[in-house]
Amino acid sequence: MAAKMVKICCIGAGYVGGPTMAVIALKCPSIEVVVVDISATRIAAWNSDQLPIYEPGLEDVVKQCRGRNLFFSTDVEKHVCEADIIFVSVNTPTKTRGLGAGKAADLTYWESAARMIADVSKSDKIVVEKSTVPVKTAEAIEKILTHNSKGISYQILSNPEFLAEGTAIQDLFNPDRVLIGGRETPEGRKAVQALKEVYANWVPEDRIITSNLWSAELSKLAANAILAQRISSVNAISALCEATGANVSEVAYAVGKDSRIGPKFLNASVGFGGSCFQKDILNLVYICECNGLPEVATYWKQVIKINDYQKSRFVNRVVSSMFNTVSGKKIAVLGFAFKKDTGDTRETPAIDVCKGLLGDKAKISIYDPQVSADQIRRDLAMNKFDWDHPIHLQPTSPTAVKEVTVTWDAYEATKGAHGVCILTEWDEFKSLDYAKIYENMQKPAFIFDGRNVVDSEKLREIGFIVYSIGKPLDQWLKDMPAVA
């Protein structure tokens, strides 16, 4: 008789679960894939024409499979009970209180998922951790499952995701590597093999790496820490470039030509954002501290410190250029997402920049092609780390945000402004009619390019005073030194 159809269930219909499962369904027509989530609105969105996340190519994949072998449901327990392989991609936010607050990961959602799996399972399961989680989560989950096993056998695997937002679908179609960590026991190896066979439907064998559980978990944190470190390294150099008259783009280009270094992740900017870099480094720091390695912890902390320094340096530059006050002045902010081609605002540098300007009583007008006014207001009203907790726990009274307007047009945002801050590298910002923008601004008109996207020489010809990160300074900016 034919082997029965493998059933996969994924708990958590977010940025990781949704796209990953959609691609598995597309590439493995013989596997039934169900994504479950307790949020009815989120599941409704996945079943609608307006998906809950924006990711190039995602809609095509979902539409090809949805209703065939890809399903989205709120009936969590039924589908968990029926599945052979359960992916868990629930949130692991940074703790906001208690032991390890501000650094440690909050495993509340993870633990409740594990207990629910133990409650409803009637057959053996492979449980795969699929969110960014700190090392040793698998062990905790394993303990919960085995202590509640009722004779059922569970194998825990770690299968960290390495998706980059904006290119997630391409990353899934053609990954650099797929990492599967498991126990080094016969049952563990068998489970690793079962998951390997799923990926082998479209990923070349030599790109599927297997390791022990801890190596897989730590590889994820280490990869993000090293990527973020490259950004902080080039951002640190950008400050020195401004001080000496060097050009950070030229420096980064020369450095990136070294084949051992390579050109990627060497763009100086107002700072890195996104849901993982800061969270993962804080996690790494915490794990180092817990294991009695303060020197290692301090080393990785610097990556975040430089990122915070870069954001505050940008705000100081804006304020000092404008006669040391932005009080009551309109400032346009172009771009709010943490990078182009995504609507994601998690940990975006724009939040700290806007808060810094609002702290100096500026009036801000924001335009981003993918981010809703609602989201922007929520982000600006939130405390650090709140964004990663459920919406009903987030602050609802955006009081300080009345000095903020959100527009759906860059020209509207810049009209009557004293300065323009470019905080996301959306392609459309390269082709705006800056002469028209200049005409409608107060003079002197400033552009602060936090992503080095505009041609500063052309803008200077129009009449702008331009600040680009890590580039030689205008005479004006030299005369108005930023007070640290």
Place of tokens 């730590």: 218
Q: What percent of the chain has pLDDT over 90?
A: 75
Query: Angle at which helices 349-359 and 373-381 pack, to 10 degrees?
Result: 70
> 54 and 129 share a domain?
yes
Place of tokens 């900016």: 477
Does residue 470 or residue 343 have the better pLDDT?
Answer: 470
Picking from 156, 172, 203, the residue at the C-terminal end of a domain is: 203
Mean pLDDT across the chain: 92
Structure tokens given for 80: 């968990």
Give the pLDDT mean for 248-255: 98
Give the residues across from 105 on adjacent strands: 94
pLDDT given at position 393: 55
> 245 and 198 share a domain?
no
Structure tokens given for 389: 């907790």
Provide φ and ψ at 401, rounded to 5°.
Answer: -95, 10
CA distances from 316 to 93, 182, 322, 414 (A): 30, 49, 10, 20
Residue-wise pLDDT for 334-372, tens only, equals 999 999 988 889 999 999 999 999 999 999 999 999 999
Picking from 168, 203, 238, the residue at the C-terminal end of a domain is: 203
The helix/strand/coil state of 34 is strand
Does residue 65 or residue 161 have the better pLDDT?
Answer: 65
pLDDT given at position 382: 83
Answer whether residue 74 is part of any domain: yes
Tell me the catalytic residues.
276
Provide φ and ψ at 166, rounded to 5°.
Answer: 95, -25
pLDDT given at position 392: 54
> 92 and 185 share a domain?
yes
> 326 and 362 share a domain?
yes
DSSP per-residue string spanning 409-475: -HHHHHTT-SEEEE-S--GGGGSS-HHHHHHTS-SS-EEEETT--S-HHHHHHHT-EEEETTSPPPH
pLDDT band at 49 (very low <50, low <70, confident <90, very high): very high
Residue-wise pLDDT for 395-418, tens only, equals 554 555 678 999 999 999 999 999
Answer whether residue 219 is part of any domain: no
State how far the Cα of 28 lies from the Cα of 200, in Å rounded to an integer. Answer: 10
Residue-wise pLDDT for 206-215, tens only, equals 999 999 988 9
Residue in 203, 180, 188, 163 with CA at minimum distance from that of residue 58? 163
Q: What is the CA radius of gyration of the chain?
A: 24
Answer whether residue 287 is part of any domain: yes
> 278 and 198 share a domain?
no
pLDDT given at position 1: 40
Domains of the chain: total:
2
The yes-or-no verdict on residue 2 having pLDDT over 50 is no
Answer whether residue 212 is part of any domain: no
The helix/strand/coil state of 179 is strand
> 243 and 389 share a domain?
yes
The yes-or-no verdict on residue 386 having pLDDT over 90 is no
Answer whether residue 461 is part of any domain: yes
pLDDT band at 103 (very low <50, low <70, confident <90, very high): confident
pLDDT given at position 46: 97
Alpha helices in 29-155 (DSSP H): 40-46, 58-65, 76-82, 108-120, 137-147
pLDDT given at position 34: 98
Contacts of 462 (CB under 8 A, 6+ apart): 434, 435, 438
State how far the Cα of 226 lies from the Cα of 277, in Å rounded to an integer. Answer: 9
Give the pLDDT mean for 369-388: 85
> 168 and 125 share a domain?
yes
Picking from 153, 170, 203, the residue at the C-terminal end of a domain is: 203
Answer whether residue 228 is part of any domain: yes
* Range in 91-105, 220-234, 366-380 with the lowest mean pLDDT: 91-105
Structure tokens given for 243: 């001080």
Strands 125-129, 7-11: pairing kind: unpaired
DSSP per-residue string spanning 334-356: E--SSSTT----TT-HHHHHHHH
- How are strands ordered across the β-sheet holding 404-407? 404-407, 363-367, 330-334, 419-422, 446-449, 465-468
> 136 and 230 share a domain?
no
pLDDT given at position 391: 60
Structure tokens given for 302: 């610097």
pLDDT given at position 228: 97
Q: How would you label 319-351 residue by residue, b for 16+ Cβ within 10 Å and e otherwise?
A: bbbbeeebeebbbbbbbbbbbbbbbbbbbbbbb
Give the pLDDT mean for 365-388: 87
> 371 and 316 share a domain?
yes
Answer whether residue 262 is part of any domain: yes
Residue-wise pLDDT for 179-216, tens only, equals 999 999 999 999 999 999 999 999 999 999 999 988 99
pLDDT given at position 132: 65
Annotated binding-site residue numbers for NAD(+): 12-17, 37, 42, 90-94, 131-132, 165, 276-279, 346
Answer whether residue 118 is part of any domain: yes
CATH number (domain holding residue 189): 3.40.50.720
> 83 and 197 share a domain?
yes
Assess contact for 62 and 22: CB atoms under 8 A.
Answer: yes
Annotated binding-site residue numbers: 12-17, 37, 42, 90-94, 131-132, 165, 276-279, 346
Residue-wise pLDDT for 418-469, tens only, equals 999 999 999 999 999 999 999 999 999 999 999 999 999 999 999 999 999 9
At 87, the amino acid letter reads: F
Does residue 103 or residue 465 have the better pLDDT?
Answer: 465
Strand blocks (E) in 294-385? 330-334, 363-367
Residue 424: domain span:
224-479
Q: Is 113 exposed, middle or buried (0-12, 13-18, 19+ CB in 10 A)?
A: buried
The yes-or-no verdict on residue 276 having pLDDT over 70 is yes
Say whether the peptide bond before residue 444 is cis (omega within 30 degrees of 0): yes
pLDDT band at 104 (very low <50, low <70, confident <90, very high): confident
pLDDT given at position 79: 97
Q: What percent of the chain has pLDDT over 70?
A: 94
> 165 and 247 share a domain?
no
> 368 and 229 share a domain?
yes
State how far the Cα of 448 lies from the Cα of 446, in Å rounded to an integer. Answer: 7
